[in-house]
A = this chain, B = another copy of it.
């Protein structure tokens, strides 16, 4: 059998990938050995951290990423044919995978898809996967906000920010979402955000003064790494305020260094922390189920942007970093 896969052909420049950075190649698969499964990709998650990986993995090596896949041949009794799994197999359609010995499993390698109770399987790599769980942990673990606190979320209409904002609403916070298009702003309002601001066509400073008259307690900086948005939110933060960055969502390509207002940071006794979701790996599946239940109860709304066909993976990656081309989770149907 022949698998198709995308490999990194060139390093992305300027914080954006382009079509020529990827190359589609074929790979002949070996016959299954004892303990191995053959899976066919069904849905791919396209995520921001992949851009960073494109700078790190060798040229010619396969792109990384998670997929929902189906077991189509098996020499492993734990994963019979037909099993649906979440696997970190990368950008490839067919994969021969050696199931680790019991006790050696890695959550980020492969696991049977959780019971989604009727939700579409892409939730397993979206709101109930890395991106959604990261948003959940930003609120529950890093901020742990009191009811009534004001929480600002950047990239709020993305796969992580949208979950973070709605979890903060469940916690009883006042939630303000920042996004870059009016469509996203409208979606945020429909998802229950108290305020949603298009930071590209609005005076953010003036608007925050109006919608957060008591100041900002928590700022999930999400993919917005520094620069003017951070500086502006910082101006409105209360003493003892917290800022969180999610490592997976950081756009490494742009503004690796930026000016930071150390005086305001220090005077206001701000706490600024970067985290990756795997820090709380033991709570992974419980958290996935909690988010699932909140979706089923209508307390968390989920948006997806779906592109069709394995070959559209590079375009999906480009759209993820292009203004206004992705609402919610970026998914590619194999």
Contacts and interface: CB of A to CB of B under 8 A. Distances in A.
Most chain B CB within 10 A, of A255, A256, A273, A274, is at A274
A174 to B, nearest CB: 24
Interface stretch (A64-72, A209-217, A260-268): A260-268
Contacts of A259: 257-260
Contacts of A225: 262-263, 266
Contacts of A274: 265-271
A247 interface: yes
B263 A252 contact: yes
Most chain B CB within 10 A, of A255, A262, A274, is at A262
A262 B258 contact: yes
Contacts of A89: none
A279 B271 CA distance: 14
A257 B264 CA distance: 9
Nearest to A258: B262
Interface string A258-296: 111111011111111111100100000000000000000
Interface SS of chain A: helix, strand, loop or mixed? mixed
Interface string A69-108: 0000000000000000000000000000000000000000
A86 B234 CA distance: 36
Nearest to A273: B271
A22 interface: no
A258 B263 CA distance: 9
A137 interface: no
Nearest to A268: B274
A136 interface: no
B260 A255 contact: no
B247 A267 contact: yes
A310 interface: no
A245 B266 CA distance: 7
Contacts of A267: 247, 250, 252, 274
Given A252-B263, A256-B261, 19 more contacts: A226-B260, A245-B265, A245-B266, A247-B266, A250-B263, A250-B266, A250-B267, A257-B259, A257-B262, A258-B259, A258-B262, A260-B260, A260-B262, A266-B274, A269-B273, A269-B279, A270-B273, A271-B271, A272-B273
Interface of A: 225-226, 245, 247, 250, 252, 255-263, 265-276, 279
13 contacts: A245-B262, A256-B261, A257-B259, A257-B262, A257-B263, A258-B259, A259-B260, A265-B272, A266-B274, A267-B274, A270-B273, A270-B274, A271-B272
Closest 7 CB pairs of A and B: A260-B260, A256-B263, A271-B273, A225-B262, A266-B274, A250-B266, A226-B262
